[in-house]
Amino acid sequence: WSGFFSDNHHHHAENNNNTTRSIGEASDDVEAVDLVLKAMRSHEKNAYVQEEACGALSILCRNHADNQTRISEAGGVELVLLAMRAHETSAHVQEHACGALWNLCHNNHAANKTRIGEANGVAVVLSAMRAHATCTGVQEQACAALQNLCANHEA
């Protein structure tokens, strides 16, 4: 799992070395999910940790129904939305969080769609789109999240 918390933004690297090593040493998906969610809970105010954690969740649940369920049942949906609300001005957090929501709903994961909907996730995604109207990455990830939230959903 090394690389999920890589130093893409050099000015934040010094704050996240312990998290990087922990994710890099995860032995399996279960441990990786637990470590990512723990980092999100422990560093709610750190936009960089939230950005990278959302990116890691997105990768962990892409085309992986067990991880989609595991992340959701462990409170991951709520943590992603909390990150979006706490870091509304960070385009990076919004982009990666929308990507996580997109992949949490991938392949019509009905329980996650319902959970995101009940947590006002659509409104949070739309807010991100309004706040970052000129950021292509946010717009693309948000549209993909909305597409997956709406596709084949009967609610």
- What is the C-alpha to C-alpha distance for residues 80 and 56, in angstroms, rounded to an integer? 11
Cβ pair 5, 19 in contact under 8 A: yes
CA distances, 18 to each of 22, 36, 47, 49 (Å): 6, 12, 16, 11
Cα 38 to the center of its chain, rounded Å = 13
pLDDT at residue 92, as a whole number: 98
What digits encode the pLDDT tens for the residues 13-36?
334 444 444 555 666 889 999 999
What backbone torsions phi and psi does residue 5 show, to the nearest 5 degrees? -115, 45
- Residue 10 clears pLDDT 50, i.e. is over it: no
- What is the C-alpha to C-alpha distance for residues 105 and 71, in angstroms, rounded to an integer? 11
What digits encode the pLDDT tens for the residues 104-132?
999 889 999 999 999 999 999 999 999 99
Nearest 10 degrees: Cα torsion 58, 64, 68, 70: -120
What backbone torsions phi and psi does residue 100 show, to the nearest 5 degrees? -65, -45
The 10 Å Cβ neighbour count of residue 123 is: 11
Map residue 90 onto helix, strand or coil: coil
**What are the residue ranges spanned by the domains of the chain?**
10-150
Domain 10-150, CATH homologous superfamily name and number: Leucine-rich Repeat Variant (1.25.10.10)
Looking at per-residue pLDDT, the higher value among 49 and 3 belongs to 49
**Tokens at residue 95, please?**
């982009």
Whether the predicted model's global pTM rises above the 0.85 cut: no
Cβ pair 113, 103 in contact under 8 A: no
- Residue 60 clears pLDDT 60, i.e. is over it: yes
Looking at per-residue pLDDT, the higher value among 30 and 48 belongs to 48
pLDDT at residue 47, as a whole number: 98
- What is the C-alpha to C-alpha distance for residues 83 and 102, in angstroms, rounded to an integer? 15
